[in-house]
Amino acid sequence: MTLIKSISGIRGTIGGKIGDNLTPIDIVKFAAAYGTFIKQNIRNRKTKIILGRDARTSGEMLSMLVTGALAGIGIDIIDIGLATTPTTEMAVIMEKADGGIILTASHNPGNWNALKLLNQNGEFLTDEDGKNILKLIEDFDNKVSFAEIYDIGTKYATADYTQKHIDAILKLKLIDIKAIKDANFKVAIDCVNSVGGTAIPLLLKALGVTQIVEIYCDVNGIFPHNPEPLPENLTELANIVKNKKADIGFAVDPDVDRLAMVCENGEMFGEEYTLVAVADYVLQNENGNTVSNLSSSLALKDLTEKYGQTYFAAAVGELNVVTKMKDVNAIIGGEGNGGVIYPKLHYGRDALVGIALMLSFLAKNKMKLSQLKKNYSEYFISKNKIVLTPSINIDNVLTYIIDNYKDKTLQIITIDGVKLIFDKQWIHLRKSNTEPIIRIYTESRTQQQAEELADMLINEIKKQFNIK
């Protein structure tokens, strides 16, 4: 079984059995339930939904199924075709649509796909809205009905939203096209043969970059390597940056909401530092708060406080980060996986705006990326998990940790699992929503210290709860 239903959508591997994998029946039911939910809040007018997709080979099939399901319950569909996730989010805003569906499984392998659901603001659904859609699916036969012949929806196709997205980026005050053009950057990009292969070259050319070294920019959905933009998957890009004497390398995931960078010497900049570097540029030009999730590096907190501003932590998940950003009026935020959220464009992780801000930063400060990295506090993260037996209550484990460490830490945060904060290091424990595991992330000033911190806690939990 790979099918995962959550408040933000549905994902799984293509094919297999209904209810176990992502089959046409599951796709149609989920799309129709989402459409029904959207229609319940619309009165006396036709409902309009944006549909976009990454380049996965299953995407066209999913698009036809989703279009049919939405039209069948009386919703008009604006199909923007192959588009990045942030482009689809912005299309909802520009079209003043009632919602949106993105067909992408993000960094998952090519046999996966998913329906990600947006509200009328181009943002992911709230917990309450997502739960209401799941209730509709549970009682689908009684809660979902389809339109009669003269009330079915119409599909409209348009393919110009990538350019509209880029145009909006170019209008931002902090994007300095002249400085970028004068810098005469040579930029290498790895777009993993998905929609970034169209969007990123268009963006770079619009910014005045004429030297672009492209690898895996064929928009065919055949991923040449694991599509998650982690260092171990970007060795080819790193070699090309160094051998071709490029100034910087950019890598994105299939739907282009995560951004990783490679320094001019072929070394990884580190995905945790993408947000830190972009925030540095923004904070140099604007006063305001910053936000990242609880599993992100302390480097953003250190940087924010250096500028005399305030850092806030949010629960893991883009929706939670966005909610916190709005609450504290943050000027920049995101997640440590390379997700940059710049509210002056929109409230969504956006690798395209991240690229534009980074190039402006480097051009105006006349710096190499490797030099920039040295300006930030150096931290290292270790990511681990404990598989639990059915007899162990995860909440009991978290309660034990709180009780045992309440006098040993600087602070304990419980808004998302348990985060233990020490001096310049932390441990974050979260229970998985889909597996009987506890995720344990640690951060410290060296990789060895981060791993030792994780091992210490893992061994303690295993001993206390008799886990082998």
What's the chain's Rg over C-alpha atoms?
Answer: 22
What is d(CA 466, CA 188) in angstroms, rounded to the nearest whole number? Answer: 50
DSSP H stretches of helix in 309-368? 318-328, 351-365
pLDDT of residue 468: 78
338-372 as b/e: b if 16+ CB within 10 A: bbbbbbebbbbbbbbbbbbbbbbbbbbeeeebeeb
Active site residue 6: no
Side-chain half-sphere exposure of 283, counting CA atoms within 13 A? 25
**Residue 404 token pair:** 């045992």
- The DSSP call for residue 126 is P
Domains of the chain: 4-159 (3.40.120.10), 164-373 (3.40.120.10), 380-464 (3.30.310.50)
Classify burial at 201, counting beta carbons within 10 Å of its beta carbon; exposed 0-12, middle 13-18, buried 19 or more.
middle
pLDDT of residue 388: 83
- The DSSP call for residue 268 is B
Contact 81, 157 (CB under 8 A): yes
Contact 219, 82 (CB under 8 A): yes
Count of residues in the chain: 468
Tell me which of 63, 106, 194, 297 is the catalytic residue.
Answer: 106
pLDDT of residue 250: 98
pLDDT of residue 159: 81
297-330 as b/e: b if 16+ CB within 10 A: bbbbbebbeebebebbbbbbbbbbbbbbbeebeb
Contact 132, 140 (CB under 8 A): no
Q: How many CB atoms lie within 10 A of CB 162?
A: 23
- Identify the H or E element spanning 260: strand 259-262
| Structure-token match 């809205």, residue found | 129
Which residues is 442 bridged to in the sheet? 382, 427
Which residues is 213 bridged to in the sheet? 188
**Residue 148 token pair:** 């009669």
Residues 6 or more apart in contact with residue 437 via CB below 8 angstroms: 385, 386, 387, 388, 431
pLDDT of residue 321: 97
Output the tens digit of pLDDT for each of the chain's 468 residues.
688 888 888 999 999 999 999 999 999 999 999 999 999 988 767 899 999 999 999 999 999 999 999 999 999 999 999 999 999 999 999 999 999 999 999 999 999 999 999 999 999 999 999 999 999 999 999 999 999 999 999 999 988 999 999 999 999 999 999 999 999 999 999 999 999 999 999 999 999 999 999 999 999 999 999 999 999 999 999 999 999 999 999 999 999 999 999 999 999 999 999 999 999 999 999 999 999 999 999 999 999 999 999 999 999 999 999 999 999 999 999 999 899 999 999 999 999 999 999 999 999 999 999 999 999 999 999 999 998 888 888 889 999 999 999 999 999 999 999 999 999 999 999 987 767 789 999 999 999 999 999 999 999 999 999 887
Largest CA distance in the chain: 68
What is d(CA 304, CA 324) in angstroms, rounded to the nearest whole number? Answer: 16
What is d(CA 188, CA 450) in angstroms, rounded to the nearest whole number? Answer: 32
pLDDT of residue 434: 64
Residue 194: strand, helix, or coil = coil
